[in-house]
A and B are shown apart, each in its own frame.
Chain A
Amino acid sequence: MDKTQKEIEKSIKKLTSKIIIFDLIILIILLLIGLIFNSYYKQRIADQFSKALRNPLISGDNRYVVTELSHSVLQDFQVFSWVKNDTVVFSVPETSFPKNPFIYSKAEVPIYFDEDKKNEVGKLAFYYHRLSFVPYIFTIWLFLFFVSLFFLNREKKRIIKDYSVLMELELNKYKSELAEKLAHDIKSPLSVIESVCKDLKEDKDKAELLRKVSERIISISQDLLEKYRTEDKKDVVRQESIDFNKLNEVLSEVVSEKKILNPRINIQLEVSKFDCEFIFNKEELKRIISNLLNNSMEAKAESIKIKVFDDKDNIVISVEDNGRGMESEIVKKVGEKGFTYGKTEGNGLGIWSAKKTIEKYGGFLEIKSELRKGSIVSIKIPFKKSKVYVLIDDDPLVRKNWGITAKNKKIKLDSYSSFDEFLNKIDFYGKETEIYIDSDLADGVKGEEVSKKIYYLGFKNIYLETGYEKNKFKNLNHIKDIVSKTPPF
């Protein structure tokens, strides 16, 4: 984390330096532009004044020039003078001329007798302050400076957020690798234990004990693996539609296994026919049921009943036992990470992991228990719903338009105004969800960049919705298509 912190600080420092350099360059450019513009502007005004002063001057009406026109001239110039044959005829005001060439400049306009400009009458010289424009330039620069500060602040936040996302992904990857390594490493000794068990025919109790221990270790390693599986690897866990037959098959398999291992326990399976399907991973489901049955057996249950029925929206799988049960205070804590009850070697991850997995599919786990009478653990998983569309667009009108169309066509559409908003709900969506992203999100966020992040998070059905031509976008292989702002359904 220290390293990350340093990297964040380094990136922010780099960005700050860039912005400071940019601001300084802008200041220099503004000053140069100001200098050039001031010179051009003053020369132009000098030309215009010269036209106005020309006839009175050429007629010798210096008095009129000095008394009537000088006020206008001196609004733009510090001093102006009428020079004939290198001799100053008069100057207004009658002070010494500004001498410092770094501070003052001169716009000179020759006046001619003839239209061919061959015969010079004299020159009008207008002195002006070179830096008179600086306050205006500085005001403009200050405005730009504050804009850049705002930009810097926003970018700082973005860097920190990006680093956080990156770090989380890195950490998950590390945990996944660790869990994989652990699972791999314990597989060999477990296989040895398993083979030894087979040979221990005489001492069935010891063999049974060893078998349970090995099963337990496998379960823990599997939990670890699941828990720290990274997002990309999680994709390997295939979501699938499970119907009545498939569920029956899964449960029968688990029950058969358990019956063989525990022939003394009466395990019954009651599956009511249902027509809908639900989304789950078959192997995960097997593991959860297996885990629940193990728990019942751990609780010294003699009879376990697995019931499957539907409650309109959900499929309900309940594991009902007549084991030792739990007090209500204990029931409340079951499912919390690390909480274990009644097991000498429990790690408190079994129910917690099952709960998390079920929740991932939009379902939940419910525990009812009564001390010395038994427990009922129910899994409720929502039936597969119609296809969900996601729209990420900062334009409320587009969102509204898509919303109305979706409503009319009875299509499930979830709209988000920003990537961050979507990120908060990302877990609710299956990786097959069709996601439509606006090419120009608010605050200059580009849809292409957001789509890359979403793709990296495992979503594959990503579309860029835009008002531009398709050929504006290149190298977007992760995107399925570029579509218009019209709802695609």
Chain B
Amino acid sequence: MKNNDLTLKIMAFKNIRKPSDFDPAKIHFAPEYLYLENIYSPLVEYNVNGELVSGVAKNFRWEGNQAIFEIREDLYTADGYKITAYDAEKSFKRLFILNTNTHGNLKDMLCPNTELKSIGESCANIEVRDNGKTLVMKFKKKHPFLFPMLTAIDFAVIPSISIDEKTLAIKDHRNTSGPYYAISEENLDLEANKKHYHYNKKMPQKVLYIYENDINNFDLIKAFSEKKHDHITTVSSTPDKLIPFARANKEVVLHKTYPFWLRLVSFTAKGRREISKKERFEIGETLRKILLDCYLKSEGYEIAEQIFPSIAEGNLSSEQLNDINKLRNSFSIPKINKRKMIAWYFPQEFLSEIKKYFPNTQFIYGKGIPGIIDYKKEGFEEPHFYFSGTDMSFQEDISLISYHLSKDMFKTSGKEAKEWLKDYMETDDKVERIKKLNKLHYETLSEGYVFPIVFAPYAAILRKPWKFGLSRYYANNPIWRIYRE
């Protein structure tokens, strides 16, 4: 790598080839989130210390029940289009119309009974003032978690000129609100937007995505060693592979978050309906034991007793945890289950061991997130349970809670989950909200809907002289926080 070369090479994500494959209104997987946070910016952001800071809005505040956002006056797209409050307004209207976003339910808070048909229609509770300098959201009451929720990239500001007003598709990825824009609509390559507030000369000026045809058999670390790319992101590999690799290679820089990446087994709506609680515990605890045996042999993993990290908000009290462990202990011996079932996303390397106990279960690699996808449309039969890895965060994060509720991860699902979230968001007292979250958490575990397996940190590596400026509190991998002196 040349010293003055500020181009960063990253492996392209599996099955994602073009910018148009991404949409803030429809984020299901982490790689989508990671790409979108580079090309779009929300009104409000978290900095590396977990503090709420200005995003597209330079100021944000509550005035009574109104959330006021003063938009930056010096934010332009790559082609010089000035981003205003009107762009933010249209981005939110687009989101309300599509109604498919997964990280927070702003629509129910802002205009619950209004069905917008086009972004040209006015919405009484969103107002642009001062010739596009200020965006005002009018609520029935103050929502303290609004600003944290708006940090999710679902609520990114998309310049109006990039949106097709008829189809609501994003037609242009060059004029974006983020620190980067897509150089072409044909590939994922990015270039820094010099007019963006996050822009600096030390960050990668270009990001080139490297494509691999046989992605399923592709060895990401080997390709890194062969200098095919310079960066493995937080969601591209696992800590048990990256930590030892970084330790053994002096040219590698490692970034590691706190351990809040949860691996879990969750029963879908179908699983919960068809399988009894006792049998769910038998299946869940058998899988938990097999997977723990596999994971704990590797570096970076620790046993997960509950869904939230032990120091996080909404975690279980010691009494609750004792109750759960009592239940678990009565199913401590792995049991062979001959029921015909469908299971998704179990790690290939552990399948032979798992199949010994589930001889009649069909283990497949599905598509989309159970609970979110339309099985019929995608041509799949709904699984009974699935394995996943997910970001659990340390603090109350309404966007993550919303995401988890939408994917059958807690006790509630579907409409019931939406109602629960609505009620949760209506609760002003944080202590009360955390109690509700705790109750949901406890019931999810005690009913045998979810079986947490292990926690691990998110890990990423870079080739020197690149350095990390990422936060240890979040799984995000914003490219503009990577730099070199």
Of all chain A residues, the one with the shortest Cβ separation from B49 is A51
Residues of A within 8 A of B429 (CB): 63-64, 67
Task: Flag A52-66 by CB within 8 Å of B: 1 or 0 each.
Answer: 001110111101100
Evaluate contact between B58 and A119: CB separation under 8 angstroms.
Answer: yes
Distance in Å: Cβ of B138 to nearest Cβ of chain A: 14
Residues of B within 8 A of A55 (CB): 50-52, 148
Known interface pairs A61-B430, A64-B430; A115-B53 also in contact (CB < 8 Å): yes
Instruction: Count contacts between A and B, CB distance < 8 Å.
Output: 55
Evaluate contact between B144 and A59: CB separation under 8 angstroms.
Answer: yes
Give the distance in Å from the alpha carbon of A60 to the alpha carbon of B52 in the complex: 12
Give the distance in Å from the alpha carbon of A389 to the alpha carbon of B49 in the complex: 73
Distance in Å: Cβ of B162 to nearest Cβ of chain A: 25
Which residue, of B50, B52, B147, has the highest number of chain A Cβ atoms within 10 A?
B52
Which residues in chain B, 429-446, are within 8 Å of chain A measured between CB atoms? 429-431
Interface 9-mer from B14-22, B59-67, B165-173, B300-308:
B59-67
Evaluate contact between B51 and A59: CB separation under 8 angstroms.
Answer: no
Give the distance in Å from the alpha carbon of A306 to the alpha carbon of B147 in the complex: 122
Task: Flag A37-81 by CB within 8 Å of B: 1 or 0 each.
Answer: 000000000000001001110111101100110000000000000
Evaluate contact between B47 and A60: CB separation under 8 angstroms.
Answer: no
Give the distance in Å from the alpha carbon of A68 to the alpha carbon of B313 in the complex: 14
Our pick among A56, A60, A63, A114 for the contact of B53 (Cβ within 8 Å) is: A114
Interface check A113, CB cutoff 8 A? yes
Evaluate contact between A121 and B61: CB separation under 8 angstroms.
Answer: yes
Distance in Å: Cβ of A315 to nearest Cβ of chain B: 89
Which residues in chain B, 4-63, are within 8 Å of chain A measured between CB atoms? 47, 49-54, 58-62
Task: Flag B77-93 by CB within 8 Å of A: 1 or 0 each.
Answer: 00000000000000000
Residues of A within 8 A of B142 (CB): 60
Interface check B350, CB cutoff 8 A? no
Give the distance in Å from the alpha carbon of A64 to the alpha carbon of B62 in the complex: 15
Give the distance in Å from the alpha carbon of A61 to the alpha carbon of B395 in the complex: 15
Which residue, of A56, A58, A68, has the highest number of chain B Cβ atoms within 10 A?
A58
Of all chain A residues, the one with the shortest Cβ separation from B144 is A61
Residues of B within 8 A of A59 (CB): 52, 144-148
Evaluate contact between A54 and B431: CB separation under 8 angstroms.
Answer: no
Residues of B within 8 A of A121 (CB): 59, 61
Interface check B428, CB cutoff 8 A? yes
Q: In the complex, how many residues of chain A place their beta carbon closer than 8 angstroms to a beta carbon of chain B?
A: 18
Evaluate contact between B52 and A58: CB separation under 8 angstroms.
Answer: yes
Residues of A within 8 A of B59 (CB): 113, 119, 121
Give the distance in Å from the alpha carbon of A58 to the alpha carbon of B51 in the complex: 9
Of all chain A residues, the one with the shortest Cβ separation from B63 is A60
Give the distance in Å from the alpha carbon of A342 to the alpha carbon of B54 in the complex: 120
Give the distance in Å from the alpha carbon of A222 to the alpha carbon of B51 in the complex: 101
Task: Flag A81-122 by CB within 8 Å of B: 1 or 0 each.
Answer: 000000000000000000000000000000011110001010
Distance in Å: Cβ of B331 to nearest Cβ of chain A: 38
Our pick among B60, B144, B148, B430 for the contact of A113 (Cβ within 8 Å) is: B60
Distance in Å: Cβ of B73 to nearest Cβ of chain A: 12
Distance in Å: Cβ of B483 to nearest Cβ of chain A: 14
Our pick among B51, B61, B145 for the contact of A54 (Cβ within 8 Å) is: B51
Which residues in chain B, 137-179, are within 8 Å of chain A measured between CB atoms? 142, 144-148
Distance in Å: Cβ of B178 to nearest Cβ of chain A: 16
Distance in Å: Cβ of A464 to nearest Cβ of chain B: 57
Evaluate contact between A114 and B62: CB separation under 8 angstroms.
Answer: no
Distance in Å: Cβ of A459 to nearest Cβ of chain B: 70
Give the distance in Å from the alpha carbon of A114 to the alpha carbon of B58 in the complex: 7
Residues of A within 8 A of B54 (CB): 113-114, 119
Give the distance in Å from the alpha carbon of A60 to the alpha carbon of B63 in the complex: 9
Evaluate contact between A60 and B58: CB separation under 8 angstroms.
Answer: no
Which residues in chain B, 219-251, are within 8 Å of chain A measured between CB atoms? none
Evaluate contact between A113 and B431: CB separation under 8 angstroms.
Answer: no
Known interface pairs A114-B54, A119-B54; A56-B60 also in contact (CB < 8 Å): no
Residues of A within 8 A of B428 (CB): 63
Give the distance in Å from the alpha carbon of A51 to the alpha carbon of B60 in the complex: 18
Evaluate contact between B51 and A51: CB separation under 8 angstroms.
Answer: yes
Which residue, of B54, B61, B144, has the highest number of chain A Cβ atoms within 10 A?
B144
Distance in Å: Cβ of A256 to nearest Cβ of chain B: 105
Residues of A within 8 A of B430 (CB): 56, 61, 63-64, 68
Of all chain A residues, the one with the shortest Cβ separation from B433 is A64
Evaluate contact between A113 and B53: CB separation under 8 angstroms.
Answer: yes
Distance in Å: Cβ of B392 to nearest Cβ of chain A: 18
Task: Flag B100-129 by CB within 8 Å of A: 1 or 0 each.
Answer: 000000000000000000000000000000
What are 16 inter-chain pairs, A to B, with CB distance below 8 A? A51-B49, A54-B51, A55-B52, A56-B144, A58-B147, A59-B52, A59-B144, A59-B147, A60-B61, A63-B430, A64-B144, A64-B429, A68-B431, A113-B59, A114-B54, A115-B53
Excluding A54-B52, A59-B148, 14 further A-B contacts by CB distance (< 8 Å) are: A51-B49, A51-B51, A54-B51, A59-B52, A60-B62, A60-B142, A61-B430, A64-B144, A64-B430, A68-B430, A68-B431, A113-B54, A113-B59, A115-B53
5 closest cross-chain pairs (CB), A and B: A61-B144, A60-B62, A114-B54, A113-B54, A64-B430
